Structure 1
Amino acid sequence: MKTALFTPGPGNTSDSVRAALNCDLGTRTPQMMALTKHLRKQIAEVARCNDDFSVVPLQGSGTFAVEAMMTSLLPAKTPSLILVNGPYGERMAEICRIHALPHYVLRSDPLQPINVVTVADYLESHNDITALVLVHLETGIGITNPLEELLVLAEQRGLHVFSDSMSAFGLLPIKFASSSLSAVAASSNKVLHGVPGLSFVIARRDILEKPGTARTLSLDLKAQYHGFQHDGMWRFTPPVQVISALSSAIDDYLLQGGQTTRLESYKQRARRVIDGLAPLDIRPLVTGSHSAPAIVTFVLPFDEQVLSASLLSERLLSSNIVIYPSRVAEKNSFRVGFIGELTAEDIDRLITVMTDIVCEIRRQLA
């Protein structure tokens, strides 16, 4: 039986993506350089960015790209403002602490999107801030943050904006035309339906070309950019098969209709699961326009002693269904992701197995 990955990523992959993994290329051959060049163009096509930006792929998970973006591109002498309303925002604050990057942290309700007015008020009292750093779609909960409105605010104040767009890239619009957008980080195994092991940063060329002191070796984004510009080669061993798979996944993505089609697909999957779990009194923690179609956090109608999210996850795993337990605002909750090559049959199986589990629990309690 197929394992259905209802997670925020990585998700199930297509036959064509798995077939693309079956390639052997020398890492310093013309074929590898051509594949890398092609992939960078594909990612730029998905982004719909102009030539002011350059795509810089990196080995590793999305966090590698975020850390590379922040350590390579954030201002060295003036503070950035890290906007936090979830675990991935906290992760960016931790990156700043580890690397001693000058910064402030503005935390807000994890069940609400970042409030632009609150950010504006904070900036009024902190005139030394020169950059905003935020998570576009907070994957830890399923909240879409107002990136476009924050870009407008940044434009008004002459600030740079750096975005972790892991679960948003390829799904939600990103205004690369904004003069304030400096860089976006994303990865292969989210909305693009590739496999784990590759991430990338789309950054302004003028920032990439600006001289500066490297803070890391392998995550030096500027050095990787200059290497690609010089000879088209990776500085360190690239994940060849993962690159091939992502190129194939983007081909599928574009052929299927790109952002519009993928967003509608995720919305349909989310609605089907929400409607299917509602009779069990299992409901989304976050509702409204800022809820994210890629990830939904659900709250169980039981105390943890009766049925915890961890136990639910274990029982679903025995049926080859994978979810992620979650703990937000002291709720007994779990996350369901709608990315990847999921089918209507997968969704029906999730609803059926969860119905069986909940009905069994209620019979025991009666």
Structure 2
Amino acid sequence: MYPKLIINLKKLEDNLNACATITKDHGKCSLMIVTKGLCADKEMVKMVAENPNVDFIADSRVKNIAGFADTARANGKKTVLLRIPMHCEVAEVVKYVDLSFNSELSTIRLLNEEAAKVGKVHDILLMIDLGDLREGIFFQNQELIYEAVEEILKMENVNLYGIGVNLTCYGAIIPKNENLSQLVAIARDLEAKYGIKLEMVSGGNSSSIYLVDKGELPEGINNLRLGESFLLGNDTAYETKLPGTVSDGLILQAQIIELKEKPSLPIGEVGVDAFGEKPYYEDRGIMKRAIIGIGKQDTDLGSMTPCDPQVEIMGGSSDHIILDVTHCDREYKVGDIVEFELGYGGMLKTATSPYVEKDYIK
């Protein structure tokens, strides 16, 4: 059945191993693989869990982690919650998550209380905001960092495993030696001030990996968190392809449900489309237009690239995507399958949609 996402597990594992060479062999960092890009697909998680290069398996959703915690732990991998826990999910976090990212003392107190109830010690990574302005204690507010650390160190059922930063995802701030060196400086300051050893100084995600090849990852950063790098082969700071990786480990297939010649300009007064946007149309004369049975509910049109370079995406609605196949050498017909490589947004929505089947190449 279509639409269908083809997941080539062999290519993804090759990507993972290429990322491990950069991250572990060259960067001397532990490797945290992030599964949320494929909605923690079970076959993908199994492959990741069995790979000896992987140290941690992470996701932003507790529900996803609950689904793979047993698999991860059975293979000696720690589970990690990337998104700061909500108060309402603290019990599940303590149960399924080995290491959670945190920035709010009220949440850390609840984690401590819940861990005490079940006789556990829960590891946390204290997040520091270096200017991307998403989660974390702002790096310039040293006293707030000290206050948080001092209270955490008094807790009996929470362990301060380390500190971390997130860059690029919200503010699009690119990791550099300069800003990541500030994270290392904070770590060393905390260790000296409180007589502790931080196991992890996590220097970001797929936007930080390029620093390894440039020889600019600061000494003291000892962990990177990679999702898009291994799924799509990308360095997300400058959108370059990482050596040894491919971008076609994931292929979206959709079926043509209508194929007709029509004008390129709609007829009548143009208002807004189903998503409240006013579209612009260019007059190209009569077109051969193919409609495929997938839409904006299931994918992101802006991060889909037709595998046939002569196919052009014209637009779409919730359940339809319109393609221009006028100049294609292939004679498309109704029922034919059109294939697409995916960017991050397309991958994320497609993997999450219950209307997209999954098939695997192993």
TM-score (norm 2): 0.33
Name the one with the larger helix percent: 1
Larger Rg: 2
